[in-house]
């Protein structure tokens, strides 16, 4: 039975509709100021909100509440506290007050902090983010919060994100004022497209690598890959379709505007995209979506894989970050219909171009994870080089502006801007290039580098802050100008001339682009340990400090945490491989060799004239593979031991990348070759063909 979407939508969310209906009007008014204007919330108001919220949550079956936050691991954390409070006469009441709503104190000593928080002062605290609505999940009232230390340092992903959103808003407001517009707030909007795999639960459970690391560390390619391109937008199989339906319903109840779902390029790969929202809300929703996907899949005999590269040889999963800036009335990246609207669009566009060019190295850090290293530059996702795609039409406009030559487009020029009215950029002309990491798609940018497992807070924090910086520069300059329009035009021209190098409309997957990008001086950091040091570059620390988003100490702590995380992940992968090779794969190869050798011996015992050519061939190749595996096991173990012995986190991460990964590759190559020869009944792991095609 189809759910009544309108009825269930947001039914588990303490949204503005519920607030308006249930809160006393004075309370609602002051909360509204907090929601829309960022005014601080006083404790009287919080007390009323908490009591109403508690009653509402209890009606939905909630018995506990939790401050729901995002520590530096990127995933969400929750600790459930009961509403229950005994009253001495053997009975209990259900309690929840304003203090508990606005502030929590999880014992957080075991979250990564990169040395920010000495264990003696381990108690950070969580603070309510009222702009992201509370919701009920699993009988728990979840209150979205930020997580900070007692001395005020951000211990999470949300705090800097909220700071960056305010930074951008403050500067965008100044620029809009120059265009004669008086606005309270400019929000940044995000629509994340989430890719994921669904495989059979029984296959997942038969593979230690999937269980421990989320990806296959061994596995010979299937005879059939994704070359037939039949899966993309193909018919969705029944159990997947049933899963998607329930997922949509559960998300709608939580107020997540899940909108589109389809099959992706790789077999067993799918995508879900919601309608865009304010950045912090969109990210909270994305995290809820990821959690709900994992939770629901087993009901349908499936497991949801969100790793960036679960299978070699077929595409991995990404998470496109569609991004724009808007007021309550207009999308600032929409070209508009009049010359003045066009000028405003070009000013904001120029700020984004300049921001991305100047802080490409920093933006690159936000998508640097061990999982994403498998995608970037592997001809399935953009390269590690950040460039901007603007499409042919807009590029012609930009070039005309930069070169002072008339724009040869469909409209005659009037203003000195080079164009009369900019054409509306249709999706057709702006969305063709899938190889670009940062593409203008008509009225928003699509940042395509993030991996599927990523928390999008980091990239949006950086993007917002970098754009805030450029807008600030523009506002400072234009506020002093005598003639605003000509000054704004000059500024757009100058920006485009200075940052033309970051614009590239060609095929980002080619080797020529890598060479060309090097000539243009664009950074190209190919892996996580190489990319992350940009976090502690003085220019990048200065950016974050200038806008109060992150301090030097916070940036350094993030660098430590990320480098350490890299080493930990590769270490787990290497140890998993070692265990699988020693306990499962080498024994399997040996058992099969023994069977083949016995066959050969038995045949020869019957008659010396019987051929044992096929047995000899198989044994020769398997024996070589087994030796190679055994040597690779020893070498991998030695490389891991050596990397682990390093005390400096940076040196350790580099060693895991430079020394451990190649040994993992060698072990896999030998094992994958053995898999192709070894009898099916002997090989202990479900094959790629079985996992991806026997569905």
Which residues contact ligand ADP by CB under 6 A?
Answer: 189-191, 193, 273-276, 322-324, 331, 441, 443-444
| Shortest distance, position 355 Cβ to ligand ADP, whole Å | 16
| Shortest distance, position 508 Cβ to Mg ion, whole Å | 15
Nearer to ligand ADP, 159 or 322 (CB): 322
> Which of the listed partners (Mg ion, ligand ADP, none) does 331 bind, with a CB threshold of 5 to 8 Å by partner kind?
ligand ADP
> Which of the listed partners (Mg ion, ligand ADP, none) does 149 bind, with a CB threshold of 5 to 8 Å by partner kind?
none
DSSP state of 581: I
Nearer to ligand ADP, 190 or 419 (CB): 190
Nearer to ligand ADP, 213 or 286 (CB): 286
> Which of the listed partners (Mg ion, ligand ADP, none) does 190 bind, with a CB threshold of 5 to 8 Å by partner kind?
ligand ADP
Number of C-beta neighbours around residue 163 at 10 A? 20
| Shortest distance, position 315 Cβ to Mg ion, whole Å | 15
In the structure encoding, which two tokens stand for residue 15, read together?
A: 């949204």
Backbone region of residue 219 per phi and psi (left: phi > 0; alpha: psi in -120 to 50; beta: other values)? left
Which residue is associated with the tokens 């189809």? 2
Q: Give the whole-angstrom CA distance, residue 422 versus residue 348.
A: 15
Number of C-beta neighbours around residue 184 at 10 A? 11
In the structure encoding, which two tokens stand for residue 23, read together?
A: 């809160």
> Which of the listed partners (Mg ion, ligand ADP, none) does 324 bind, with a CB threshold of 5 to 8 Å by partner kind?
ligand ADP
Tell me how many residues contact Mg ion (CB under 5 A). Answer: 1
| Shortest distance, position 247 Cβ to ligand ADP, whole Å | 16
DSSP state of 105: -
> Which of the listed partners (ligand ADP, Mg ion, none) does 191 bind, with a CB threshold of 5 to 8 Å by partner kind?
ligand ADP
Nearer to ligand ADP, 75 or 275 (CB): 275
Nearer to ligand ADP, 211 or 275 (CB): 275
Instruction: State the burial class of residue 320 (Cβ atoms within 10 Å of its Cβ: 0-12, 13-18, 19+).
Output: buried
| Shortest distance, position 260 Cβ to ligand ADP, whole Å | 7
Tell me how many degrees the CA angle 222-227-231 measures, rounded to the nearest 5: 90
3-state DSSP assignment of residue 416:
coil
| Shortest distance, position 454 Cβ to Mg ion, whole Å | 16
Contact criterion met (CB below 8 Å) for 319 and 185: no
| Shortest distance, position 273 Cβ to ligand ADP, whole Å | 4
| Shortest distance, position 282 Cβ to ligand ADP, whole Å | 8
> Which of the listed partners (Mg ion, ligand ADP, none) does 10 bind, with a CB threshold of 5 to 8 Å by partner kind?
none
| Shortest distance, position 322 Cβ to Mg ion, whole Å | 6
> Which of the listed partners (Mg ion, ligand ADP, none) does 255 bind, with a CB threshold of 5 to 8 Å by partner kind?
none
Nearer to Mg ion, 261 or 320 (CB): 320
Of 583, 389, 39, residue with least CA distance to 29:
39
Nearer to Mg ion, 194 or 457 (CB): 194
Q: Which residue is nearest to ligand ADP (CB)?
A: 191
Contact criterion met (CB below 8 Å) for 386 and 438: yes
Q: Which of residues 293-332 bind Mg ion (CB under 5 A)?
A: 320
Backbone region of residue 491 per phi and psi (left: phi > 0; alpha: psi in -120 to 50; beta: other values)? alpha
Q: Which residue is nearest to Mg ion (CB)?
A: 320
Nearer to ligand ADP, 323 or 348 (CB): 323
Q: Which of residues 116-135 bind Mg ion (CB under 5 A)?
A: none
> Which of the listed partners (Mg ion, ligand ADP, none) does 275 bind, with a CB threshold of 5 to 8 Å by partner kind?
ligand ADP
Q: Give the whole-angstrom CA distance, residue 365 versus residue 534.
A: 7
Which segments within 574-644 are labelled E, that is strand? none
Q: Give the whole-angstrom CA distance, residue 80 versus residue 323.
A: 34
Cα–Cα distances in angstroms (integers) from residue 272 to residues 129, 259, 312, 438, 655, in the given order: 26, 7, 22, 20, 37
Nearer to ligand ADP, 432 or 494 (CB): 432
Nearer to Mg ion, 64 or 320 (CB): 320
Number of C-beta neighbours around residue 620 at 10 A? 10
Q: Give the whole-angstrom CA distance, residue 449 versus residue 192.
A: 12
**What residues line the site for Mg ion (CB under 5 A)?**
320
């Amino acid at each position: 039975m189809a759910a009544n979407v309108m009825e269930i939508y947001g039914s588990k969310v303490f949204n503005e509709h519920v607030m308006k209906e249930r809160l006393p009007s004075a309370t609602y008014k002051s909360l509204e100021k907090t929601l829309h204007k960022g005014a601080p919330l006083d404790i009287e108001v919080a007390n009323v909100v908490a009591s109403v919220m508690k009653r509402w949550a209890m009606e939905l079956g909630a018995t506990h509440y939790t401050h729901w936050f995002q520590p530096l691991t990127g995933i969400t954390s929750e600790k459930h506290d009961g509403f229950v409070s005994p009253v001495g006469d053997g009975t209990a009441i259900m309690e929840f007050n304003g203090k508990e709503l606005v502030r929590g104190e999880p014992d957080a000593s075991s979250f990564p902090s990169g040395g920010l928080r000495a264990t003696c002062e381990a108690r950070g605290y969580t603070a309510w983010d009222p702009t992201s609505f509370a919701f009920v999940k699993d009988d728990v009232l979840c209150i979205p919060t930020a997580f900070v230390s007692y001395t005020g340092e951000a211990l999470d992903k949300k705090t800097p994100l909220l700071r960056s959103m305010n930074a951008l808003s403050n500067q965008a407001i100044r620029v809009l004022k120059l265009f004669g517009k008086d606005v309270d707030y400019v929000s940044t909007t995000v629509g994340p497209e989430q890719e994921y795999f669904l495989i059979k639960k029984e296959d997942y459970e038969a593979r230690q690598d999937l269980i421990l690391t989320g990806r296959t560390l061994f596995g010979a390619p299937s005879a059939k890959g994704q070359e037939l391109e039949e899966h993309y937008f193909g018919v969705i199989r029944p159990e997947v379709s049933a899963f998607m339906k329930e997922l949509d319903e559960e998300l709608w109840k939580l107020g997540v505007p899940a909108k589109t779902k389809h099959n992706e390029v790789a077999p067993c790969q799918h995508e879900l995209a919601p309608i865009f929202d304010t950045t912090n809300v969109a990210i909270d929703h994305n995290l809820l979506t990821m959690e709900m996907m994992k939770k629901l899949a087993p009901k349908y005999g499936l497991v949801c894989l969100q790793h960036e590269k679960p299978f070699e040889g077929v595409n991995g999963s990404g998470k496109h970050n569609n991004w724009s800036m808007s007021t309550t009335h207009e999308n600032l990246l929409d070209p508009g219909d009049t010359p003045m609207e066009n000028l405003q669009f070009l000013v904001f566009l120029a700020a984004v171009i300049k921001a991305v060019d100047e802080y490409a190295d920093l933006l690159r850090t936000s998508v640097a994870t061990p999982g994403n290293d498998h995608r970037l530059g592997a001809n399935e996702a953009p390269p590690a080089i950040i460039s901007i795609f603007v499409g042919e039409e807009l590029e012609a406009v930009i070039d005309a502006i930069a070169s002072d030559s008339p724009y040869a487009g469909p409209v005659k020029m009037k203003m000195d801007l080079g164009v009369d009215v900019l054409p509306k950029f249709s999706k057709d002309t702006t969305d063709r290039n899938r190889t670009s990491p940062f593409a203008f798609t008509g009225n928003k940018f699509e940042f395509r580098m993030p991996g599927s497992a990523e928390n999008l807070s980091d990239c949006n924090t950086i993007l917002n802050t970098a754009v805030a910086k450029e807008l600030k520069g523009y506002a400072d300059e234009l506020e002093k100008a005598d003639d605003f329009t000509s000054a704004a035009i000059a500024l757009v021209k100058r920006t485009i001339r200075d940052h033309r190098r970051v614009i590239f409309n060609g095929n980002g997957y080619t080797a020529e682009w890598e060479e060309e990008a090097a000539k243009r001086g664009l950074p190209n950091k190919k892996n996580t340990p190489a990319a992350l040091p940009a976090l502690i570059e003085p220019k990048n620390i200065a950016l974050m400090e200038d806008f109060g988003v992150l301090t030097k100490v916070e940036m350094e702590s993030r660098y430590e945490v990320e480098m350490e995380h890299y080493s930990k992940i590769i270490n787990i992968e290497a140890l998993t491989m070692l265990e699988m090779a020693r306990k499962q794969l080498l024994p399997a190869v040996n058992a099969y060799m023994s069977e083949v050798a016995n066959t050969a011996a038995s045949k020869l015992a019957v008659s010396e004239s019987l051929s044992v050519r096929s047995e000899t061939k198989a044994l020769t190749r398997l024996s070589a593979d087994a030796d190679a595996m055994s040597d690779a096991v020893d070498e991998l173990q030695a490389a891991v031991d050596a990397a682990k012995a390093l005390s400096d986190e940076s040196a350790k991460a580099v060693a895991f990348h430079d020394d451990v990964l190649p040994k993992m590759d060698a072990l896999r190559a030998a094992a994958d070759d053995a898999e192709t020869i070894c009898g099916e009944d002997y090989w202990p792991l479900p094959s790629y063909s079985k996992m991806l095609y026997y569905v």
